């Protein structure tokens, strides 16, 4: 059987959804704000953003200016051989708008099993997709997604995982980003699976308590080795969130001390890179000891200067090393005034992360299936807002079909300029090229 007990459960969930009416659906309100009943739509932000979205030429000029000023960070882009730049531009020229939009999504593989209800796709307690079938192949031809993230329910054993990642890659003409959230300790779907003979490290708070950056690098190296062995190419690690209580550091966080966490984060990235695995540092500017899977957004009322002095330190110190930066669903009323969480705020992503901090790598939202998003946004709008804001990758939307079609329509209607889409696709392809995913690939020979 493909998914353990999944067919029966899917039918059950489908019937339940029909019976409950709004089961599994997001709020009809665009966004719900605490003590704020005046906001009823996102039209104002969209209008403002379209005036500020850079063209391809503006994007290139801005990157060159920042690199010449900083002399660091993403300077490798200007040093890249012309043939690499030509390859990327050649790929973009050949891609349809539908294919470009697809590159902006990293999804659960279950999202391509289109017979599943969204409530099944996003439920980790229900068996999931463990191999590629024709339905998934057909869905891939429709959505052209740029990558996948695997969860415990998608992982059986080493043989299955390696074949699964190989077959996932086989569905796409452009190589895929395929990742997992393998931190160690409680957050290690592979190492915690008894069918894998790999080392299970302790929780990150235990590692952070040692204060040893060398140990953090070793964790990254060892985890990276087995991820690469099974066909994965990036990890949602390290977590750079700072705990607020030094006596009770969260399992996934290194420390409450910004300096300690910063050293650990940078060292683990080095370890992952040593094993050929890309890093996605999360969840800027920090969740503290919370998660985004709550009914309301995480709230941080600090001034930007205060955030930079503490919460953001491990993130900012790793910007020149990390391959991707995951933006959290955090309300920042003292930093932005557009009413959006950081993950959907142009004032945060473009003005703070891109312009002020000078980050030129790939920016990814945290999961759009998090309760804080699904409870407060309609699915047809949140992905569009994230792309308008400057995010390159929309992570695991609760409803892939609605999210994809909404972004595509926004691009077709001019709400999102195609040059904005091209900018993200360019960064994504540059990352895939840098990581070796495009080496000797058939598209380079066309």
73, pLDDT greater than 50? no
pLDDT in tens, 90-124: 999 999 999 999 999 999 999 999 999 999 999 99
pLDDT in tens, 119-169: 999 999 999 999 999 999 999 999 999 999 999 999 999 999 999 999 999
Name which of 5-9, 230-234, 340-344, 352-356 the model is least confident about: 5-9
What pLDDT score was predicted for residue 79?
Answer: 52
Q: Is residue 179 part of a domain?
A: yes
Q: Which two tokens stand for residue 349?
A: 């992503």
Average pLDDT (341-356) is 98
| CB < 8 Å & 24+ apart, contacts of 12-19 | 13/117, 13/119, 13/120, 13/123, 13/126, 14/117, 17/117, 17/119
3, pLDDT greater than 90? no
Q: Is residue 9 part of a domain?
A: no
Q: How far apart are CA 356 and CA 288, in angstroms?
A: 23
- Confidence bin at 445 (pLDDT 50/70/90): very low
What pLDDT score was predicted for residue 106?
Answer: 98
Strands (E), 372-426: 394-395
What pLDDT score was predicted for residue 402?
Answer: 96
pLDDT in tens, 370-393: 999 999 998 789 999 999 999 999
- Exposure string of 368-400, with b = 16+ CB inside 10 Å and e = fewer, is bbbbbbbebbbbbbbbbbbbbbbbbbbbbbbbb
What pLDDT score was predicted for residue 19?
Answer: 33
Q: Is residue 20 part of a domain?
A: no
Residue 256's CB: how many other CB atoms inside 10 A?
Answer: 21
Residue range(s) defining the domain that contains residue 340: 36-445
What pLDDT score was predicted for residue 440?
Answer: 52
pLDDT in tens, 361-375: 999 999 999 999 999
DSSP string of 249-306, one letter each residue: --TT---S-HHHHHHHHHHHHHHHHHTT-EEEEEEET--TT--S-SSS-EE----HHH
The total number of structural domains in the chain stands at: 1
CATH number at residue 340: 3.20.20.300
Q: Which two tokens stand for residue 405?
A: 């079609």
What pLDDT score was predicted for residue 57?
Answer: 39
What integer best gives the mean pLDDT of the chain?
Answer: 85
Q: Is residue 137 part of a domain?
A: yes
pLDDT in tens, 310-326: 999 999 999 999 999 99
Question: CB–CB of 315/324 below 8 Å?
Answer: no
What separation in angstroms does the CA of 406 have from each of 22, 117, 433?
21, 19, 28
1, pLDDT greater than 60? no
Cis peptide bond prior to 283, omega within 30° of 0: yes
5, pLDDT greater than 60? no
Q: Is residue 7 part of a domain?
A: no
226, pLDDT greater than 50? yes
pLDDT in tens, 393-414: 999 999 999 999 999 999 999 9
Cis peptide bond prior to 238, omega within 30° of 0: yes
Question: CB–CB of 251/204 below 8 Å?
Answer: yes
The 3-class SS string of 96-109 reads CHHHHHHHCEEECH
DSSP designation for 154: G
Tokens 């024709």 -> residue: 134
What pTM value is reported for the model? 0.82
71, pLDDT greater than 50? no
- Confidence bin at 82 (pLDDT 50/70/90): low
Q: Is residue 28 part of a domain?
A: no
Q: Is residue 435 part of a domain?
A: yes
pLDDT in tens, 189-221: 999 999 999 999 999 999 999 999 999 999 999
- Confidence bin at 256 (pLDDT 50/70/90): very high
- Laid out side by side, the sheet with 147-150 consists of 362-365, 324-327, 278-284, 234-235, 177-180, 147-150, 105-107, 394-395
20, pLDDT greater than 50? no
Average pLDDT (322-343) is 97
DSSP string of 304-333, one letter each residue: HHHHHHTTTHHHHTTTTT-SEEEEP-EE-T
Average pLDDT (167-188) is 97
């Amino acid at each position: 059987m493909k998914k353990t007990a999944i067919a029966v459960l899917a039918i059950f969930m489908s019937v339940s959804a029909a019976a409950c009416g709004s089961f599994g659906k997001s709020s009809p309100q665009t966004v719900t704000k605490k003590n704020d009943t005046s906001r009823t739509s996102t039209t104002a932000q969209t209008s403002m953003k379209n005036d500020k979205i850079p063209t391809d030429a503006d994007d290139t000029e801005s990157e060159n200016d920042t690199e010449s000023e900083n002399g660091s960070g993403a300077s490798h882009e200007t040093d890249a051989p012309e043939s690499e730049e030509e390859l990327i531009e050649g790929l973009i020229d050949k891609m349809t708008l539908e294919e470009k939009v697809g590159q902006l999504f990293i999804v659960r593989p279950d999202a391509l099993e289109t017979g599943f209800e969204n409530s099944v796709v996003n439920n980790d307690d229900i068996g999931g997709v463990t191999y590629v079938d024709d339905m998934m192949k057909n869905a891939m031809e429709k959505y052209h997604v740029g990558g996948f993230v695997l969860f415990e329910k998608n992982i059986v054993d080493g043989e299955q995982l390696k074949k699964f990642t190989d077959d996932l890659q086989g569905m796409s003409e452009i190589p895929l980003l395929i990742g997992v959230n393998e931190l160690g300790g409680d957050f290690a779907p592979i190492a915690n699976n008894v069918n894998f003979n790999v080392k299970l490290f302790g929780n990150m708070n235990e590692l952070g308590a040692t204060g040893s950056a060398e140990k953090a690098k070793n964790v990254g190296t060892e985890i990276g080795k087995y991820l690469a062995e099974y066909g994965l190419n990036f990890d949602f690690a390290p977590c750079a969130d700072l705990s607020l209580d030094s006596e009770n550091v969260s399992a996934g966080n290194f420390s409450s001390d910004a300096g300690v966490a910063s050293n650990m984060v940078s060292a683990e990235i080095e370890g992952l890179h040593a094993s050929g695995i890309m890093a996605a540092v999360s969840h800027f500017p920090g969740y503290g000891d919370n998660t985004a899977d709550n009914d309301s957004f995480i709230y941080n009322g600090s001034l930007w200067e205060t955030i930079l002095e503490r919460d953001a330190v491990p993130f900012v110190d790793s910007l020149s090393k990390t391959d991707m930066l995951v933006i959290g669903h955090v309300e920042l009323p003292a930093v932005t005034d557009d009413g959006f969480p950081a993950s959907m705020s142009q004032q945060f992503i473009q003005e703070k992360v891109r312009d002020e901090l000078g980050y030129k790598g790939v920016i990814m939202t945290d999961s759009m299936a998090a309760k804080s998003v699904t409870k407060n946004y309609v699915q047809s709008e949140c992905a569009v807002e994230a792309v308008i804001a400057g995010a390159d990758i929309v992570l695991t939307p609760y409803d892939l079909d609605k999210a994809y079609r909404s972004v595509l329509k926004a691009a077709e209607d001019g709400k999102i300029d195609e040059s904005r889409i091209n900018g993200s696709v360019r960064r994504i392809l540059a990352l895939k090229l840098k990581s070796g995913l495009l080496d000797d690939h058939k598209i380079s020979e066309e």
